[in-house]
Amino acid sequence: MLQYQQPAGPLVAAAGAAGLSSMQLHLLYCTVGALLWAALPGALASAAAMLQAGDAAYGNGDFSTAIRHYSTALDLDATAPLFYTKRAAAYMSLKKYAQALKDLDRAVDVDDTFMQGYLHRGKLHRQVCSLASAKSDFEKVMQLKPNHSQAAKELAALQELESAVKELAAVAAQSDSAGAAVDAAAAQQLLDRVYKTAPDCIAAQLLEAKLQMAQGNYEEAIGVTGRIVKSIPGHLEALTLRGTAYMYLADHDMAKRHFGEALKFDPDHKDSRKAFNKLKDLDRKRQRANRAFEAQDYPEAEQQCQAALAVDPQHQAVNKELQLQLCRVQQMLNKPQEAVEACQAALAIQPDYYDATKELIRALLAAERFEEAVNLARNTLQQHQQDGEMHQLYREAEKQLKISKRKDYYKILNVDKQASPRDIKKAYKALARQYHPDKVHSSKEKAENEEKFKEIAEAYEVLNDEEKRGAYDRGEDLEQQQGGGGGWGHPGFQQGYQQGGFQYTFHFNG
């Protein structure tokens, strides 16, 4: 029902000038109001009908419909502060606080003595933790009605709220410097104190989001900041925090969308601009690393991986992938120890990162850390019995460990595993001359040289034979092929030797 609580405008001024009493003024207002209703029955009747329809929709919880009816009523009569207050209440029910605040501002602009408008606006300010504005509105109510009990209670509650907000801000400051060291339970108690009086406190929600971010709870931070941007779509700090949370969840498209939205509201917003640029820089470096890897330009891929890792050390979701890629790249560059460290860094971020575990086993094998590789493969296989690749890695690790415990013929001849037959023969001749037993005189030295020489000959016999070398490289057992390992011939020379005098003669072929 349309109700004007008191006369306003030119009518009040004229009555005041005539010196009418309040009762006479009220009678005059009713008389003039009746005449106005008679003169403009369509517009006012429609406004009253819209107000009544809005109240009905509001009572049924259909706040959007209520807003539409109240808006129509305001189109018919934009001077009624009650209309603005009612529409503001509907906006608040939808948590559209920015629109609600505009209506309440308009209500007290239309009538600067409209106590209900100040009271509702103060409650809205208190609800979102605009403490100074809330205090100002409640004090205005007390000026209009000094004994207003509700306003007095609100002012008392504001003091407690302000104290809780200050304590929470101190906890958030600790979070900025100490991260997860913050006492989460104590912080939650403070949040509960704030939300009890101010359930939609923007300051508390921002602090809660920061605390969640500091503890790596990015999904929770997204939920908190989502409530803020729903009520205040252009809240720059909330948009930036929300974008950062999406970034750390590796949803870079959503992150960029939020940073971009903040920059639409304020192109000069430093935090959003900085976060946006950092994310774009990270994506560029990752793309360069991927392109270089695909092109088999491993030095460039290594450089770009390392550059990308330096962009944001806190971005664990991306950095674990970059460390894994770096591990693979460094294996291709024959940097096994560095590859091991990169894979371990990936697993430090996510201990159950299965791809990184498998790559670490390969890196350990390349680094000739065979026992570590076997132990890791065995433990991992217990959790992944159905993975054929893991079974293969375990078998390979065991084979390499077994190989490592036998004589290393390549090492004996001082050649690498890719040495050509010509290189092997050249190395053999040089070593055979170097360790010729006749080059020394003492019995001890002759015995040592003889043992060394036999090792050299043994290595040469295997590595100089394509079939034996292949079997050796595959880790196959050569003892059966060699009659138990005791009957080595020494191709390429003839050996003569006399017990006691240790007289040797060698005739090298070629």
Q: Token pair for residue 220? A: 């929770």
pLDDT of residue 474: 82
pLDDT of residue 100: 95
pLDDT of residue 499: 36
Q: Where are the alpha helices (DSSP H) in 266-315?
A: 270-294, 298-309
How large a percentage of the chain has pLDDT more than 90? 65
Contacts of 123 (CB under 8 A, 6+ apart): 134, 154
pLDDT of residue 384: 94
User: Whose structure tokens read 């912080």?
Assistant: 187
Residue 301 has pLDDT above 70, yes or no: yes
* Chain center to CA of 282: 13
Residue of higher predicted confidence among 159 and 24: 159
Q: Where are the alpha helices (DSSP H) in 1-96?
A: 10-18, 22-39, 41-59, 63-76, 81-93
CA neighbor of 164 nearest in space, from 220, 208, 120: 208
Q: 3-state SS of the chain: helix, strand, coil percent to 5?
A: 75, 0, 25
pLDDT of residue 23: 46
Q: Which domains are assigned to the chain?
A: 10-125 (1.25.40.10), 126-233 (no CATH), 315-404 (1.25.40.10), 409-475+485-510 (1.10.287.110)
Give the Cα separation of 510 and 506 in Å (integer). 13
Dump pLDDT digits (tens) for 353-368: 999 999 999 999 999 9
pLDDT of residue 476: 81
Residue of higher predicted confidence among 279 and 403: 279
Dump pLDDT digits (tens) for 173-197: 776 654 445 677 888 888 999 999 9
Give the Cα separation of 360 and 393 in Å (integer). 11
User: Whose structure tokens read 């009086």?
Assistant: 197
75-89, 150-164, 247-261, 479-493: the lowest-pLDDT one: 479-493
Q: How confident is the model at residue 45 (pLDDT cuts 50, 70, 90)?
A: low
Stated pTM of the model: 0.70
Dump pLDDT digits (tens) for 70-114: 999 999 989 999 999 999 999 999 989 989 999 999 999 999 999
* Chain center to CA of 264: 24
pLDDT of residue 36: 47
Dump pLDDT digits (tens) for 263-286: 999 999 999 999 999 999 999 999
pLDDT of residue 38: 46
Count CB neighbours of 492 within 10 A.
18
Give the Cα separation of 458 and 463 in Å (integer). 9
pLDDT of residue 47: 83
